[in-house]
Amino acid sequence: MKEAKVIFRPEDRAVAVPTRTNLVVAASLAGINIYAPCGDRGVCGKCKVQAWGQLTALTQAERGWLAPAEIEEGWRLACQAVVEGDVVVQLPIGRLQYARIAITETVGLAPNVRKIFLELPQPSLDDQRSDLSRLKEGLGMEETTVHLSVLRNLPRVLQESGYKVTAVLVGEELIAVEKGDTTALNFGLAFDIGTTTVVGMLLDLHSGRQLAVSPALNAQANYGADVVSRIALVMNEPSGLNKLQHEVSKTINGIIGELLQQTGVRRENIYEATIVGNTCMHHLLLGIKPISLAVAPYAPVVTDPLAVKAKELGIDIHPRASVFALPNIAGFVGSDTVGVILATGLHRSEEIKLAIDIGTNGEIVLGNKDRLLACSTAAGPAFEGAHIMNGMRGTEGAIERVWIDDDVKVQVIGRRKPRGICGSGLIDAVAEMYRAGVIDQSGRLINGEEAADRLPKSLSSRLITTTQGPGFVLYSDRHSAVVITQRDIRELQLAKGAIRAGIEILKKELGIEDDQITEVLLAGAFGSYVHPPNVVAIGLIPPLPEERLVSVGNAASVGSRMALLSMAARDIAKDIARRVQYIELSARPDFQEKFVAALSLPSSCVANEIRASV
Amino acid sequence: MKEAKVIFRPEDRAVAVPTRTNLVVAASLAGINIYAPCGDRGVCGKCKVQAWGQLTALTQAERGWLAPAEIEEGWRLACQAVVEGDVVVQLPIGRLQYARIAITETVGLAPNVRKIFLELPQPSLDDQRSDLSRLKEGLGMEETTVHLSVLRNLPRVLQESGYKVTAVLVGEELIAVEKGDTTALNFGLAFDIGTTTVVGMLLDLHSGRQLAVSPALNAQANYGADVVSRIALVMNEPSGLNKLQHEVSKTINGIIGELLQQTGVRRENIYEATIVGNTCMHHLLLGIKPISLAVAPYAPVVTDPLAVKAKELGIDIHPRASVFALPNIAGFVGSDTVGVILATGLHRSEEIKLAIDIGTNGEIVLGNKDRLLACSTAAGPAFEGAHIMNGMRGTEGAIERVWIDDDVKVQVIGRRKPRGICGSGLIDAVAEMYRAGVIDQSGRLINGEEAADRLPKSLSSRLITTTQGPGFVLYSDRHSAVVITQRDIRELQLAKGAIRAGIEILKKELGIEDDQITEVLLAGAFGSYVHPPNVVAIGLIPPLPEERLVSVGNAASVGSRMALLSMAARDIAKDIARRVQYIELSARPDFQEKFVAALSLPSSCVANEIRASV
């Protein structure tokens, strides 16, 4: 296998990688997580970097995403550009589309799965030890637990291999003995089980390399878009739990099939999977009824880390493989939040940081190595495009960016005609409408009279009345339009108000002021796609300078990956889950007050100040 | 529950027992093992004791087994006599039909199964801990492993019981959480898996009491009487292993059904079973191919102690119950021998003792706490009545005792007409024939001419010629006869010669003389039924005075029971299995020589000397 040297700037971090590695994988080997949400398929255009040196030629996908001037400057899509020799990569520093998460710095490669090749002495009349004693002595592990089926196969495997075998240990359990030396065939999966999306990563546990990523929609969504509707199904239908468990394991198996096909890895060489997810997703995957999450006091069934057999969950990898579920913090702060903290190093930070992971719910963590507080807000699905007149998920045709000056400009996922608007587009739209004076500080759309006085015709003409009341047209053609209604704005205000109120409660509990927050980590799909200054402009987070805002991509899944690669990371995760203090907002009399205060938009001077720094 | 006091003499050991306990059970509570091989059914007549006090009236079975003079003297069958109030029991001291195995002295009651009743605090907004955290804190066990199905049921069980539950732990694993306080319903099974017979005992793990015993024929016998024929089936037929595994689990389930019916205990309250057996039976029950036992170097697949799920073996008790298989020593010295050593305390004896367990194979252990040696001899099935012209197993109609003076007297199991002869009868017959001069020291039946000179007519007339050559008639009527042939005598000589040669090799290896053997422990069905002086008379064991010979009954099954009741006993068993040094006779050039020397009968002076001491 030929190796090449890749240097990542601005840090000048160097790494030796096998040729034929793409730049996303090369970066991960250097401990750098380039955000590449489409799973290396070249369809999202998010993983833009500048790169020079011995790389494969531009692909069709890159030509679609990169302007000729960009190509001139050396821009590539990291997932498409494949190393053929030494390369220098310049990571973008403007919008922070990547997070410098130094996995290899935090934790060494020490997975729970170990494969050990042994050449054992053959039995003789002078050495009548049992096959198992022979094996255990070879391993130097007297107290290993051995799965019965391993014992059943052991004599044949030893015979047929001439006593040259590879032992497969998951934790302290011997789950397989394979003929010959198979130590290089050692793979694992890291999953992030979201309410809407499930992401699976295939990792080589021998080298620590990530081989492939594959996302899929959680098939549970067929039974309800949010956590509450799924719990309701479990409560109301005797077979509800089984259905939902089956749907998510089906989704996971689909992803596994895709990952195997992409890489040629064999199913029986995958010995472990790790999972993170919110507490409800966690319970449903494990076949545990999450009913108690639906009613006060919202106590979950289990928060401890769990190791179960993949088979018990219907996950189709090695027949005796394990699934390790990272610990949850509370009923509405799950192992995905543990993953975010683990990946971003919040638990060992000297400075106080704020992490926000907005999916179907919004989880918020605030603190540093001394104390970490977490809460969850029912942000509602507005950020995922639900309950929004022209709302949609962040897929092709969704408006993802909006600019308003004299006129309205939009950017659409897939560079095609707009079909609707997704969460990041909605935040942009409201922030820009506020800045342009289309809405006032209370969030009210100005009326026609006010508009005629204050706005150019190009904007005032966009104020219309829809079937759902007043609205503002972002885009229209002969056949269709994308409109933001007054109701949509109110939905967004409620959602961002809940999150902001949560942040304020955590600040109060920790006894800090805004300025003490040195960094705001925006995690998840939300964090990756939003334009950070507009998150401040709508008041979702406190008014902080842009340089303190960092998109960390799908940090939860990075946490899952770290736990797969490192036992030390699991210990840390367990410690995090215990240390984080959960704040139940519904139990706080001051929450409603903070919530109401957070509904309005920030005074325009703040918004403008932030805008000035863009 | 009313209690009564039972005193056992000669030791004057006192114990309080619930009324309605029979004397076998009462004795076991006092740490005394009364040999009662028929499982308290009153059909073997072996458990004779003298007893006075408040006991139930004589049963039909007792009237059948006890002579009027014996009844006068207070003799009872311990299994039939049930305590109604205070009782004094005199244990027989003549023939030592019982072994004083002080289980309660050796190991305290500390089973692997623990049931713990908990009244847990209910969740509230001030205490949002998970159900599992709540439970673990109640148990004070942070690191308990929890079976997934327990988690799945946990919310319902907690809800329905008002958070008053009983945790069931097998080792460190939480296998069940039951509603309310069920600590008193805690049962386990101890098995001895023999090639021919399987014995199961039901024990109350809360009190340590043995509730019932049930034996059954091992249904594997349908596929071959001995270990070799069963291994052959596994080698020759693809489904052979599955068939044999199924047969033995079927046998075990049959015994369990019987035990449950006898006692009213519920299947789901049996949380663990222990097993001992020879290495082949052990492997077959676990579904492990014992093929390597059939060919040199006879290395087994596993000797270590194993804990597996009962479900994996098809054993029908609590769905998450465990089966603990005691460790084996070598390919032909199994966990049954470990059980014998554990039960008889050989491993902690200051003095050197010899233990012999003769079933289908003969296992021999010699030594003391400093060093223990073991070997196995292919004794052949002569002692079980196989390959003997009129041989049969020790069931109704078998001649079990023989006396010869002027004429021949026999004692028949079930006190009926003889149908054949079993192992103990055969030993008696040969010893008595030798003493009476019917055979010479080489084992040759004298001819008619010699007989006419030396024997009374009542004996010489019994010398006949059968289809299988010369023979000696023990019994005959118009329809049938029981004859010992020359060939039968040769079979016995080969069998006893092999065992004696094994003993001699172990003696040589240990560097001791006969006189240093302070006790010979005769274990298993063989040890229980034989008339010990005749074991010396035929030279199966070295010439030692009768008082050194002790029948210890089914000591292997006592070992199984000890391991069920006590984790300390398991540690001891593990230590025993490691410490015992296995001597492979087939690898020793001196074995053949010792074997040939052991074929003849001892010089008659020895035989007579022993006889004189009877």
Q: With CB atoms and an 8 Å threshold, state whether A287 touches B587.
A: no
The pLDDT of residue B438 is above 50 = yes
- Looking at residue B34, what is its pLDDT? 77
Structure tokens at A418: 């707009």
Calculate the average pLDDT of chain B. 89
Are the beta carbons of A46 and A38 closer than 8 angstroms? Answer: yes
Please report which confidence band the pLDDT of residue A8 belongs to, taking 50, 70 and 90 as the band edges.
confident
Interface test with B, best of A148, A159, A170 (most B CBs within 10 A): A148
Please report which confidence band the pLDDT of residue A552 belongs to, taking 50, 70 and 90 as the band edges.
confident
Q: What is the mean pLDDT of residues A599-610?
A: 67
- Burial code (b: 16+ CB inside 10 Å, e: under 16) for B393-423 equals bbeebbbbbbebeeebebebbeeeebbbbbb
The pLDDT of residue A607 is above 50 = no
> Which helix (DSSP H) or strand (DSSP E) does residue B565 occupy?
helix B555-565
Are the beta carbons of B275 and B191 closer than 8 angstroms? Answer: yes
Within the 206-235 window of chain A, which residues sit less than 8 Å (CB to CB) from chain B? none
- Looking at residue B113, what is its pLDDT? 97
Separation between Cα atoms, residue B206 and residue B251, nearest integer Å: 26
Are the beta carbons of A36 and A46 closer than 8 angstroms? Answer: yes
Q: With CB atoms and an 8 Å threshold, state whether A298 touches B128.
A: yes
Q: What angle do CA A242, A291, A591 make, to 5 degrees?
A: 140
Most confident segment among A533-537, B268-272, B446-450, B476-480: B268-272
Q: With CB atoms and an 8 Å threshold, state whether B152 touches A289.
A: yes
The pLDDT of residue A605 is above 50 = no
The pLDDT of residue A176 is above 50 = yes
- DSSP 8-state code for residue A415: S
- A571 interface with B at CB cutoff 8 Å: no
Nearest chain B residue to A292 by CA distance is B155
| pLDDT, tens digit, 9 for 90 and up, residues A442-493 | 999 999 899 999 999 999 999 999 999 999 999 999 989 999 999 999 999 9
Q: Which of B161, B200, B264 is nearest to B39 (CA)?
A: B200
For β-strands B469-476 and B463-466, DSSP reports them as antiparallel
Residues facing residue B51 across a β-bridge: B89
Q: Which residues contact B555 (CB under 8 A, 6 or more apart)?
A: B99, B101, B339, B340, B343, B344, B355, B357, B521, B523, B524, B527
- B286 interface with A at CB cutoff 8 Å: yes
The pLDDT of residue B185 is above 90 = yes
The pLDDT of residue B301 is above 90 = yes
The pLDDT of residue B95 is above 80 = no
Cα separations in angstroms, B45 against A353, B414, B601: 83, 9, 32
Are the beta carbons of A505 and A590 closer than 8 angstroms? Answer: yes
Q: Which of A556, A549, A244, A525 is nearest to A385 (CA)?
A: A525
Q: What is the mean pLDDT of residues B275-292?
A: 97
| pLDDT, tens digit, 9 for 90 and up, residues A339-398 | 999 988 899 889 999 999 987 778 999 999 999 999 999 776 778 777 899 998 888 899
For chains A and B, CB pairs below 8 A equal: 134
- DSSP 8-state code for residue B333: B
Please report which confidence band the pLDDT of residue A12 belongs to, taking 50, 70 and 90 as the band edges.
confident
Q: With CB atoms and an 8 Å threshold, state whether B128 touches A287.
A: no
The pLDDT of residue A78 is above 50 = yes
Interface test with A, best of B301, B320, B585 (most A CBs within 10 A): B301
Please report which confidence band the pLDDT of residue A185 belongs to, taking 50, 70 and 90 as the band edges.
very high
Q: With CB atoms and an 8 Å threshold, state whether A301 touches B132.
A: yes
The pLDDT of residue A195 is above 50 = yes
Rg, chain A, Cα only: 26
Q: Which of A196, A195, A520, A142 is nearest to A353 (CA)?
A: A520
Residues of B in contact with A128 (CB under 8 A): 297-299, 330-331, 582, 584
Instruction: Quote the distance between the C-alpha of residue A608 and its chain's center.
Output: 31
Are the beta carbons of B177 and B157 closer than 8 angstroms? Answer: yes
Q: What is the mean pLDDT of residues B302-330?
A: 97
Q: In chain B, how long is the greatest CA-to-CA distance?
A: 104
Residues facing residue A164 across a β-bridge: A119
The pLDDT of residue A177 is above 50 = yes
Rounded to a whole number of angstroms, the distance from the CA of B124 to the nearest CA of chain A is: 5
- Lowest-confidence region among A36-40, A179-183, B524-528: A36-40
Q: With CB atoms and an 8 Å threshold, state whether B123 touches A292.
A: yes
Separation between Cα atoms, residue B33 and residue B37, nearest integer Å: 11
The pLDDT of residue B509 is above 50 = yes
What does B493-538 look like in DSSP terms, one character per residue?
Answer: HHHHHHHHHHHHHHHHHHT--GGGEEEEEEEHHHHHHS-HHHHHHT
Calculate the average pLDDT of chain A. 89
What does B183-196 look like in DSSP terms, one character per residue?
Answer: TT--EEEEEEE-SS
Residues of A in contact with B312 (CB under 8 A): 148
- Looking at residue B39, what is its pLDDT? 65
The pLDDT of residue B42 is above 90 = no
- Looking at residue A94, what is its pLDDT? 39
- Looking at residue B97, what is its pLDDT? 37
Q: Which of B576, B326, B585, B234 is nearest to A155 (CA)?
A: B234
- Looking at residue B103, what is its pLDDT? 35
What does B409-437 look like in DSSP terms, one character per residue?
Answer: EEEETTSS---EE-HHHHHHHHHHHHHHT
For β-strands A352-358 and A517-523, DSSP reports them as parallel
Residues of A in contact with B134 (CB under 8 A): 299
- Lowest-confidence region among A515-519, B202-206, B583-587, B606-610: B606-610
Name the more confident of A50 and A31.
Answer: A50
- A292 interface with B at CB cutoff 8 Å: yes
Residues of A in contact with B291 (CB under 8 A): 155
- Looking at residue B603, what is its pLDDT? 86
Nearest chain B residue to A588 by CA distance is B125
| pLDDT, tens digit, 9 for 90 and up, residues B112-136 | 999 999 999 999 999 999 999 999 9
- Looking at residue A108, what is its pLDDT? 63
Q: With CB atoms and an 8 Å threshold, state whether B328 touches A130.
A: yes
**Could you give the dihedral angle defined by the CA atoms of residues A437, A438, A442 and A445, in that order, rounded to the nearest 10 degrees?**
150
Q: Which residues contact B481 (CB under 8 A, 6 or more apart)?
A: B390, B473, B475
- Looking at residue B441, what is its pLDDT? 95
- B154 interface with A at CB cutoff 8 Å: yes
Rounded to a whole number of angstroms, the distance from the CA of B351 to the nearest CA of chain A is: 29
- Looking at residue A24, what is its pLDDT? 85
| Nearest residue, CB atoms, B301 vs list A130, A297, A301 | A130
CA dihedral (B467, B473, B479, B480) positive or negative: negative
Interface test with B, best of A130, A285, A375 (most B CBs within 10 A): A130
Q: What is the mean pLDDT of residues B258-265?
A: 94
Within the 502-541 window of chain B, which residues sit less than 8 Å (CB to CB) from chain A? none
Q: With CB atoms and an 8 Å threshold, state whether A132 touches B303.
A: yes
Please report which confidence band the pLDDT of residue A32 belongs to, taking 50, 70 and 90 as the band edges.
confident
Q: With CB atoms and an 8 Å threshold, state whether A299 touches B132.
A: no
| pLDDT, tens digit, 9 for 90 and up, residues B61-90 | 899 888 888 888 889 999 999 999 999 998
Separation between Cα atoms, residue B196 and residue B278, nearest integer Å: 11
Rounded to a whole number of angstroms, the distance from the CA of B489 to the nearest CA of chain A is: 33
Name the more confident of A611 and A46.
Answer: A46
Rounded to a whole number of angstroms, the distance from the CA of A547 to the nearest CA of chain B is: 37
Q: With CB atoms and an 8 Å threshold, state whether A302 touches B587.
A: no
- A294 interface with B at CB cutoff 8 Å: no
The pLDDT of residue B40 is above 70 = yes
The pLDDT of residue B171 is above 90 = yes
- A303 interface with B at CB cutoff 8 Å: yes
Name the more confident of A1 and B333.
Answer: B333
Q: What is the mean pLDDT of residues A186-215?
A: 91
- Burial code (b: 16+ CB inside 10 Å, e: under 16) for B19-29 equals eebbbbbbbbb
Rounded to a whole number of angstroms, the distance from the CA of B497 to the nearest CA of chain A is: 23
Q: With CB atoms and an 8 Å threshold, state whether A155 touches B301.
A: yes
Interface test with A, best of B302, B329, B574 (most A CBs within 10 A): B302
Q: What is the mean pLDDT of residues A94-108?
A: 41
Q: What is the mean pLDDT of residues A174-179?
A: 97
Residues of A in contact with B288 (CB under 8 A): 151-152, 154-155
- DSSP 8-state code for residue A587: G
- Burial code (b: 16+ CB inside 10 Å, e: under 16) for A425-463 equals bbbbbbbbbbbbbbbeeebebbeeebbeeebeeebbebb
The pLDDT of residue A102 is above 80 = no
Q: With CB atoms and an 8 Å threshold, state whether A130 touches B298.
A: no
- Looking at residue B604, what is its pLDDT? 60
| Nearest residue, CB atoms, A125 vs list B125, B129, B297 | B297
| Percent with pLDDT over 90 in chain A | 67
The pLDDT of residue B372 is above 50 = yes
Separation between Cα atoms, residue A497 and residue A592, nearest integer Å: 10
Are the beta carbons of A541 and A535 closer than 8 angstroms? Answer: yes
Separation between Cα atoms, residue A304 and residue B154, nearest integer Å: 14
The pLDDT of residue A133 is above 50 = yes
| pLDDT, tens digit, 9 for 90 and up, residues B385-401 | 778 999 988 888 999 99
The pLDDT of residue B274 is above 50 = yes
- Looking at residue A201, what is its pLDDT? 95
The strands making up B463-466's β-sheet, listed across from edge to edge, are B463-466, B469-476, B481-485
- Lowest-confidence region among A248-252, A406-410, B106-110: B106-110
Q: What is the mean pLDDT of residues B412-427?
A: 90
Name the more confident of A191 and B555.
Answer: A191
Are the beta carbons of B391 and B532 closer than 8 angstroms? Answer: no
Q: With CB atoms and an 8 Å threshold, state whether B296 touches A127.
A: no
Q: What is the mean pLDDT of residues A253-259?
A: 97
Q: Which residues contact B605 (CB under 8 A, 6 or more apart)?
A: none
Nearest chain A residue to B146 by CA distance is A306
- Looking at residue B100, what is its pLDDT? 42
Please report which confidence band the pLDDT of residue A31 belongs to, taking 50, 70 and 90 as the band edges.
low
- Lowest-confidence region among A559-563, B53-57, B379-383: B379-383
Q: What is the mean pLDDT of residues B434-446?
A: 95
Cα separations in angstroms, A197 against A94, A278, A421, A607: 28, 12, 18, 33
Ordered alpha helix ranges (H), A511-585: 524-529, 532-537, 555-565, 567-579
Q: Which of B153, B116, B100, B149 is nearest to B131 (CA)?
A: B153
Instruction: Quote the distance between the C-alpha of residue B281 and its chain's center.
Output: 14
Residues of A in contact with B152 (CB under 8 A): 286-289
Nearest chain A residue to B298 by CA distance is A128
pTM of the model: 0.82
- Looking at residue B105, what is its pLDDT? 37
Within the 322-351 window of chain B, which residues sit less than 8 Å (CB to CB) from chain A? 328, 330-331
The pLDDT of residue B606 is above 60 = no
Q: What is the mean pLDDT of residues B102-107?
A: 40
Q: With CB atoms and an 8 Å threshold, state whether A330 touches B128.
A: yes
Most confident segment among A218-227, A294-303, B205-214: A294-303
Most confident segment among A37-46, A218-227, B231-240, B518-527: B231-240
The pLDDT of residue A613 is above 70 = no
Q: With CB atoms and an 8 Å threshold, state whether B148 touches A312.
A: yes
- B494 interface with A at CB cutoff 8 Å: no
Structure tokens at A483: 């409109």
Ordered alpha helix ranges (H), B175-288: 227-236, 240-263, 279-286
Separation between Cα atoms, residue A35 and residue A602, nearest integer Å: 30
Nearest chain B residue to A586 by CA distance is B125
Please report which confidence band the pLDDT of residue A90 belongs to, taking 50, 70 and 90 as the band edges.
confident
- A308 interface with B at CB cutoff 8 Å: yes
Residues of A in contact with B136 (CB under 8 A): 304
Nearest chain B residue to A298 by CA distance is B128
Instruction: Quote the distance between the C-alpha of residue A68 and its chain's center.
Output: 32
Rounded to a whole number of angstroms, the distance from the CA of B191 to the nearest CA of chain A is: 20
Residues of A in contact with B331 (CB under 8 A): 128
- Looking at residue A380, what is its pLDDT? 63
- Looking at residue B258, what is its pLDDT? 95
Are the beta carbons of B285 and B313 closer than 8 angstroms? Answer: yes
